[in-house]
Amino acid sequence: QVQLVESGGGLVQARGSLRLSCAASGRTFSSYAMGWFRQDPGKEREFVAAISWTGGNTYYADSVKGRFTISRDNAKNTVYLQMNSLKPKDTAVYYCAAAARGPPSNIYDCDYWGQGTQVTVSS
C-alpha cells in the first residue's frame, strides 16, 4: 500500500508559477514510477507528466511541455511538479499517482492516487 498526499495548490494569476508536491509513505517509493494528472469538473482525468523510478526519464503532455517540470527526490519520498507560465486553462484538480509497471500515460497505468489539490489560474 502507498499513501500519497499532494500539497502546494492554490490561486495564482496567469503567467504565474506554482510548485506542487506529493509526499509518499508506505512501500518503497523508489519502486514506483510517478505521474501527475489533472481533472476539470465534468471532464475526464488527463495525463500531465510522468517520471521514471530513478528520475532519469520524464514525459509530458503536449499542453504543458516547456512550462511544467516533473522531478522526484527518492530520499524524501516526494515527487514535484513545477508549473510556470500558468494559463487559465491549467485550472483543475491535480492528482499524483504511483505506478509499479512504469511511467504512467493514462489512469489505467496507475496503482495508487492522492486526494488531489486544487489549482486555479485567474486571467
Tens digit of pLDDT for each residue in 13-48? Answer: 999 999 999 999 976 898 999 999 999 988 999 999
- Strands 33-39 and 10-13 come out as unpaired
Pairwise CA distance, residues 53 & 69, whole Å: 16
Q: How large is the C-alpha radius of gyration of the chain?
A: 13
The answer on pLDDT for 1 being more than 90 is no
Pairwise CA distance, residues 110 & 106, whole Å: 7
- What pLDDT score was predicted for residue 12? 98
Distances (CA, A) of 42 to 31, 34, 39, 113: 33, 25, 8, 19
Neighbouring C-beta atoms of residue 2, cutoff 10 Å: 19
Quick one: CA dihedral 71, 119, 105, 26, positive or negative? positive
Higher pLDDT, 8 or 28: 8
Residue range 52-78, pLDDT digits in tens = 999 999 999 999 999 999 999 999 999
3-state secondary structure of 90: helix
> What is the CA 24 to chain-centroid distance, rounded?
13
- What pLDDT score was predicted for residue 114? 97
Pairwise CA distance, residues 115 & 9, whole Å: 12
- What pLDDT score was predicted for residue 26? 74
